[in-house]
Amino acid sequence: MKPKSSTGARELAESVSRFLSSFEADKIPKGFSTLLDLAPRLRVSDRQVYNIAQRFIKAGHAERQTFRVHVGSMIRPVPHYRFSKEAEKVLGLTKPRRQ
């Protein structure tokens, strides 16, 4: 099969989407991560990270906020999580300090 040649209309739509996403997408504050970002750092599946995050939220050591992010060619709401310093230490997400 031949690859699809890009048409002027498709290029225009992608260009408009990229331009608008720069204004419509939220800026993610420092400390927030998605489950897909956390899974490799914790060496578990994204479902296990979800279970862990829910337990920390119930205990009051994590928070969840949804930010609008550019995903593919659309802007979608994506949940992000931030853990307390104690929770990060337990999970091993903190870097050891050099002395």
What span, in angstroms and rounded, lies between the C-alpha atoms of 93 and 49? Answer: 13
Q: Is the full-model pTM beyond 0.75? A: no
Low pLDDT (below 70) residues in the chain: 1-6, 20-23, 96-99
What span, in angstroms and rounded, lies between the C-alpha atoms of 43 and 39? Answer: 6
3-state secondary structure of 62: strand
Give the pLDDT confidence score for residue 26 in this predicted structure. 81
Give the pLDDT confidence score for residue 1 in this predicted structure. 52
Here the CATH number for the domain that contains residue 30 is 1.10.10.10
| Residue 49 exposed, middle or buried by CB count within 10 Å (0-12, 13-18, 19+) | buried
- 13 part of a folded domain: no
Give the pLDDT confidence score for residue 43 in this predicted structure. 92
Give the pLDDT confidence score for residue 27 in this predicted structure. 87
Give the pLDDT confidence score for residue 97 in this predicted structure. 52
- 76 part of a folded domain: yes
| Residue among 62, 20, 14 nearest 50 (CA) | 62
The number of domains in the chain is 1
- 83 part of a folded domain: yes
3-state secondary structure of 28: coil
- 21 part of a folded domain: no
